[in-house]
A and B are shown apart, each in its own frame.
Chain A
Amino acid sequence: MVNKYLFLAYSFVWLIFMLYVWNLSRRQTRLKKDLDEVKSKVAESASTTASGPSGS
């Protein structure tokens, strides 16, 4: 049978790394979403400027 301290040590290490990688991937997804949103806003405002004030 595997020693319980050995099992706990390796389990904790992999758990800590997996949690950190999961946290990194969550932050990356959120940032990517924000970046896409802002970029689409920029594209929208650029197209409005290019078409000029609409006939009022």
Chain B
Amino acid sequence: MTGSGLGLSPRRWVLLGIALACALLWAAACSRTDADAPRVLNGAGATLPYPLYARWSAEYAKLDPKVRINYQSVGSGAGVRQVTDGVVDFGATDEPMSEGEIARAQGAVVHVPTTVGAVAITYNLPGEAPLRLTPDLVADIFLGVVARWDEPRLLAANPGRALPAAPITIVHRADGSGTSAAFTSYLSRTSDAWKSRVGTGTTPRFPVGVGVKGNEGVAAHVKQTPFTIGYLEVAHARLAGLPSAVVQNRSGAFVAPTIEALDSAARAAAAKPVHGQISLVDSDAPAAYPITALTYVVVPKDLRDAERGTAVAKFLWWAIHDGQRFARTLDYAELPPELVLRGESALRELRSGGHALLPAGG
């Protein structure tokens, strides 16, 4: 280096020019390959079905390498908001969109039911026998009304099971979550006190307890802390080797969150001739687990881009048919045939410029 180094020698100018040219060429090369790159379909929303959607994304990429599904589990509310704003191709939500939300969306939307998930109530107590809980007990424990494990009402619901003389510690989600929404939606349905004091939402204000982040966080904290009780998505309870409480359903039976119990709730709801959207929470089927949620994908009915729209419709068609076989391995229930039919008719409603995106026969 000569002199003060502030000026550039001719050779350096040439080098700089070459570097710039290379950068431009590289950028041009990148933009050229964009045309051959797979079409990315963006989805966002519920966290409850995220493990299944992630699996679908991976499996669908093998099937149709031209399409990539990019799903962000940002929560049901954000999913609805983003699909309403046209930020993503499809939104995912554990709750059907409300009238108000549909009104805010520009144009109509269709709901495609995708899978059935459940929220398990897990706990850390000595003893093998599963904890038995009535809906009132679930609400009162999470409200802090039943504050000790040896309260008479808990003992009465668990004849023959020893319960420790210890205070109950509630563990709840600290981050916003579809699991919290599904759980509080159940509690609001079964308990008026819960409905008026806490309500339903992704970030409810729990009256008692300690908040931790994520299903994994709840699992870890319950596992390491004696006398805790918490709620989490069923698959996470099983993965962590945590017990699940059996919860009394509306017809009086105590049911564990098995896939069969989820199936039962889904079939019972699907069999009913309901207009509008279906809810699986607090089902009255005898074998149904009560804290069960049907989760949906929401797509605008009228799509501007026909090619993208068709790709979305095809992916969802695959998801509610062949995609269902991945549900069980991840602790979700397969959609019962009635709900698959509902999904099919919803997908056939999709239009672009007045033309149906899927042929009438599928």
Specify whether A and B are partners: no
- Name B residues whose Cβ lies closer than 8 Å to a Cβ of A: none
- Name A residues whose Cβ lies closer than 8 Å to a Cβ of B: none
